[in-house]
Amino acid sequence: MTENKEVRTRFAPSPTGFLHIGGARTALFNWLFTRHNCGKFILRIEDTDQMRSTDESTQAILDAMTWLGLNWDEGPFFQAKRVDIHRAMVEKLVAEGKAYYCTCTPDELEEKRKRALAENRKPKYDGTCRDRGLLRSPNSVVRFRCPDTGVTVVDDLVKGKISFNNEELDDLIIERGDDYPTYNFAVVVDDALMGITHVIRGDDHVNNTPRQILLYNALGYEIPVFGHVPMILGSDKTRLSKRHGATSVMAYKDMGYLPEALVNYLVRLGWAYGDQEIFSTDELINLFSLEAVGKSAAVFNPDKLLWLNQHYIKEYDHAKLVDNIRPFLIDRGIDASDAVFLSNVVNDLKSRSKTLVEMADGAGFYFEDELDYDKDGAEKFLKPEFAGHLKNVVEKLPDLTNYTKQGIEEFLKTMAEESNTKLKFIAQPLRIALTGKTVSPGIDEVMVTLGKEKVMKRIERAMQYIGSH
């Protein structure tokens, strides 16, 4: 690659499903490398598999990228719209004798494969059609004439130098019988014509790279720099899959994770900067380098992600957190239109919530007109011996002028002293009366957020409950 050339990277997913965790990390590494080097990040949708590609999957990928904040500078380009370009390049190679038509049938190829294995030979194509000078015919494919001597070297930014003997490689198919290009060919043409300088992708593509380098050479294209990042494993050290939990990026959004938390977690799956765990986006852009990406596979740890998410919820911009929680409340049928009230609710809950789902579940009691009391809590604390404490609160509360967290705390302490009882015998019945739960944010916080009027109504209803049970 020419020195001082603008860095251009790409993320090129196939729209055959959702954007999964592994793909998202690959996109993130590309994005960070590009932003660090002030380059251009290109999004290309590789949809030449027309049988499996869907518009819904394309939109799901775009939505996930947008949610993660991985903005692209060019695209999205659609590979299927570039098929004429790919076909022209195939014809060019055929005309130059660097590719040829092949009419071997799938059954014949399977027979060759079995014979090679039986004879302890590598099951690669045996070149039957290589020198037959065939022309295009129905169902014929086009194969690349791979050099059968020499070595192809990949100078990988992550894995270092890797060498491949050309005689081990295959005369790979570059155009299928349906006239569509294969992945290895289309990706080379598109990367070259889009000026991609760095190809950063998962190490499951390592074995494709020497074949692609030979195609670059045959087409007269400049070869990009390659970097292959290790895969992500589940806790059992096998490749991350659905059996380990959610693998779709948007599933984590639905489970109440913040995008910044997921980004921070994904970048630490295989990349490190000392012992630092928490990074802002600006820090990641400034610090990221492929040299710091590890060579071994990373293990996905859901508990670590949950810890990070809890941290981000606590530290998140408050207004953004309010905006993020609102859809979860609306899904639960809660009217979250009172922005000031909702802001106070979020303030009460954010230090106690690991996910937005947990926060939304915990917020329900603030918005309910009539609470369902926790059965065990009600049996323990909504009893006649505590009714006097609740009556005391409801009678004295109207005269409390310092209706703040501190004022309420002092108010309840004074009441406990005057009643010659422990504070918990006032606070716990009050908690059940106001929240329906035995566990909640601080009772003083809850009272401030609910306001005097709602607090008094809820206490009176709890006293009625005691009287009727």
Number of H helices, E strands in the chain: 19, 12
Provide DSSP, 78-145: EGGGGHHHHHHHHHHHHHTTSEEEE---HHHHHHHHHHHHHTT-------TTTTS-PPP-TT-EEEE-
Main-chain dihedrals φ then ψ at residue 142, nearest 5 degrees:
-115, 130
Tell me, what DSSP letter sits at residue 248?
A: B
List Cα–Cα distances, 435 to 334, 430, 451, 459, in angstroms. 16, 8, 13, 10
| Neighbouring C-alpha atoms within 13 Å toward the C-beta of 131 | 1
User: Cα separation of 144 and 98, whole Å?
Assistant: 6
457 labelled catalytic:
no
Cα–Cα nearest to 426, from 450, 391, 396, 460: 391
Check if the beta carbon of residue 10 is closer than 8 Å to that of residue 42. yes
Among the listed residues 114, 122, 242, 320, the single catalytic one is 242
Catalytic residues: 242
